[in-house]
Every structure is written in structure tokens, then in C-alpha cells.
Amino acid sequence: MSKILINGCTIVPISGAVVADGAIVINDDRLSYVGPAEGLLAGWQADTVIEAGDMAALPGLVNAHTHAAMTLLRSYADDLPLKQWLEERIWPREAKLNRGDISWGTKLALLEMIRSGTTTFADMYFHMDVVAEAVIEAGLRASLCQGLIGFQDTKHQRLASGVSLVKEWQGAGEGRVTTMLGPHAPNTSTPEYLSKVAATAAGLGVGLHIHLAETQGEVEDVKARYGATPVALVNKLGLLDLPVLGAHCVHLTTEEIAILAEKKVGVAHCPESNLKLASGVAPVKEMLAAGVNVAIGTDSAASNNNLDMVAEMRTCALLAKGISGDPTAVPARQALTMATLNGAKALGLDNEIGTLEAGKKADLILVNLRQPHLMPTNDVEANLVYAARGSDVDTVIVNGRILMAGGEVKTLDAEEIYERVIARTETF
């Protein structure tokens, strides 16, 4: 059993008040002590000691919605409306991607996520077995699903791939890999297909990851075809009786917000992607007030164009304030909670991760506070949201394993990833 001591850090546990001079003890893959340094047992010996007097410790960030391998398409099709972006540029290019492309694109994403403090992410794409392999190699935690575009899956081959992913990879990597089924959206699948996917998920005992109400065009399309808004439709079809991670949820009625709260849907708010594609701004203040569990996601690097959850937190907080006219709409602590505990809840992992508490999995990050833009530390939580950058992350630990120390990633070869990605995208 490995024993790690993180000493002298400022602890931002999410579950309680900030601890100014704290200590964290990791035994194997779990936290065994989180609190004031003076509370450590006398004579306790660690295998590894991290002196963190200039660091803030907080739970690893949870990216609640992305498509990791789309790093290959970063800046490939910018400044277009979502429908044109998808149908004319992204989907035709994706059709040419092979398993090797997905593998190296995913590794590039994992490298970027580790360096900016993301320890867990929810991913929807294809060739997801190679994504799972990359996750296990990198040491991260992930909730994975095969993207299921019903209109393109007339023979249910993709659904079969999604089922295989669940059966073969659920719980892999010491439990770091979990799975869902991923019906793409109500406007890219028939109601019959969505119902079949939901029934299949229920039989497997897993939840659903789905795009919901991302654009006004989607809402109007679904209403014209089926006489109901997207959230109302999937609720009527019974999808929301399962654990559901709903990405975007931008265009919602008051009634739909109430449905999301009642059905305990986890919402992945993706502010930067929604802004860049001009999809709109999700009613975050209203959802939070109604009791909806709102997490934060980056969406893909093709529409963001990065996977930096530190930046996403800041955008989330500022955007909610600007749209609502209320500077208290999403305060710093709320943004931090959305990027950690709420993300864990949305993925069904909050019993294990999302806060720094004894007994939970040892998933945490250390942020270097000795930076001009992070001084003085009048309020460490405010600094982390409004002033920090992803590049300020110094150390990343997942499941008790150090994945990055001093800004150096230990589990992935950055230069090899760069070379492979450049070679594979030269013909784009």
C-alpha cells in the first residue's frame, strides 16, 4: 500500500470550509485524512511527501461532457452555425477517422486534460474501446458511451457496439472506467430508436448520455415532427426514468426545468461551446434555483476550442452574471461545486469523488498559488475561479496515483502524441 502525504496546502474541500494550513493523507487509492496539519497522527510515515505550502488542493475537476478524440478537429471548421458545422464539415470528416485516429486524438485530449486539472470526464464518440484503453493508460477516470445517431443506425450496429462497450469495459482500470449508452439527440433519432436505447440501458443497469435542447433549431425541429419539445419528448418516452446526463439544455421552458429537477437529470452546461456556435445561453440561474444538478463540460475541442475546465468555470460564472444582470447568480463557490461535486453527481460517482473527504477516492489536484495573477490570496476560491489558468495546475492525482508532478505528466509521452497527431492530420 502506497502512502502519500501532502503537507501545508490550502485545502478547498468543496464539502466544507477552506483549511488554510492543511494536510492530506492518501493510503493506496483513498483519502484517509483531510484537515489541519496539526491534526496528523504523530509519527505517521509516508512513502512520498509533497510539500505544498504554496499550493491549493481541491478535488479533481470533472468535465461532464466532451468528445475527446475531436481534438483532431480543433480549429478545423470554425465560425459556422451548429447544423452547418456538423452536417457539412464535422460528420463528413469523422466518417474518415479510423481507430488509430481515435486513439491518438484521445491521448492528446487526455494530455490536455491532465495538464489543466481534469481527472474525470464523460465522453461520447465511436471506437470507444480504444478510448477506454487510452483512459486506462493515462490513469484518468471516465464515463464512456458510444454515440448513437439513430438516423444512421438503421441496423442497430452502433447500438450493439454500445452494448459491447458496457459489457466489456464497465469497471475496468481498477473501477476508473464506467459506461453509459449514448443516444445522440432527440432530433437525430426516431422516438422508437430512443425507446429501444432506453430499454436496452435499463436492461444493462446503466444510464444515458444525450444532447438535449442545444439549439433553437433543434427545438423547433422536434416540435414540428413530434409535437413536443426535446425534454418533454424524452420524458414522455421514459428516458428520464433512468439516470440521465443531459448535455447543453440551452433552450428550456419553465415546465422543462421542473421536469429536469423532478427526474434528477444531471445537466452538463457547456458555456464556451454554446457561445462559439451561437447556440444560446443555458438558463443556469433558473435551473439551479429549481434544484437541477448543473455540472460543467467543455464539449469538444472542435467547438470550444480547448478542454480547459478552469477557463470553463470562469466563463460559466461570468456568463450567468452577465445574462441575468445578477452578480450573485453563480458565485465562485458555486462554480467550483459545479465543476467538481455536481459533475460527480451527474456521472453517478459522487459517493467516490467530487469532494476531499476521508474515505473518498484520492482524486485531487494541486494548483500553484505562487503566481502574480493569484496574489494576494484574499479569497482562494474566488482566485481559482476568476484568476486561475489551467496551466497553474502543478500536480494531478487519480486513484492515489500521481499522474503529473511539477507540471510533468508521468503517464503519457507528449512528444510521441504530438508527432502522431501531426502526421494523422496533415491531410485534413
| CA dihedral for 177, 333, 249, 68, sign (positive or negative) | negative
Residues in the chain: 428
Residue 306 shares a structural domain with residue 389: no
Tell me: the pLDDT tens digits for 331-371? 999 999 999 999 999 999 999 999 999 999 999 999 999 99
Residue 242 shares a structural domain with residue 375: no
CB 247 within 8 A of CB 287: no
CATH code: domain of residue 360: 2.30.40.10
Q: How many whole angstroms separate alpha carbon 9 and alpha carbon 337?
A: 19
Tell me: the pLDDT tens digits for 155-201? 999 999 999 999 999 999 999 999 999 999 999 999 999 999 999 99
Buried/exposed code over 31-49 (b: 16+ C-beta within 10 A; e: otherwise): bbbbbebeebeeeeebeee
24 domain residue, yes or no: yes
pLDDT at site 1: 66
How far is the CA of 111 from the CAs of 258, 339, 404, in angstroms? Answer: 38, 19, 10
Residue 364 shares a structural domain with residue 337: no
Residue 187 shares a structural domain with residue 284: yes
Q: How many whole angstroms separate alpha carbon 319 and alpha carbon 269?
A: 11
Name the residue type at position 88. E
As given in the structure block, the three cell numbers for residue 221 are 425541429
pLDDT at site 43: 74
Residue 126 shares a structural domain with residue 242: yes
Q: What is the average per-residue pLDDT within 229-248? A: 98
Residue 106 shares a structural domain with residue 192: yes
Q: Indicate the residue among 323, 346, 369 that finishes a domain.
A: 346
425 domain residue, yes or no: no
Tell me: the pLDDT tens digits for 310-337? 999 999 999 999 999 999 999 999 999 9
Share of the chain above pLDDT 70, in %: 100
Of 217, 198, 232, the closest CA to residue 86 belongs to 217
Total structural domains in the chain?
2
423 domain residue, yes or no: no
How far is the CA of 185 from the CAs of 40, 93, 235, in angstroms? Answer: 50, 20, 13
Tell me: the pLDDT tens digits for 65-89? 999 999 999 999 999 888 899 899 9
Whole-model pTM? Answer: 0.98
Domain that holds residue 85: 61-346
Tell me: the pLDDT tens digits for 268-303? 999 999 999 999 999 999 999 999 999 999 999 999
Residue 366 has phi, psi (to 5 degrees) of -115, 125
Residue 119 shares a structural domain with residue 185: yes
Tell me: the pLDDT tens digits for 161-172? 999 999 999 999
- 3-state DSSP assignment of residue 351: coil
Of 293, 305, 307, 387, the closest CA to residue 340 belongs to 293
Residue 356 has phi, psi (to 5 degrees) of -100, 100
Arithmetic mean of pLDDT over the chain:
97
CB 115 within 8 A of CB 404: yes
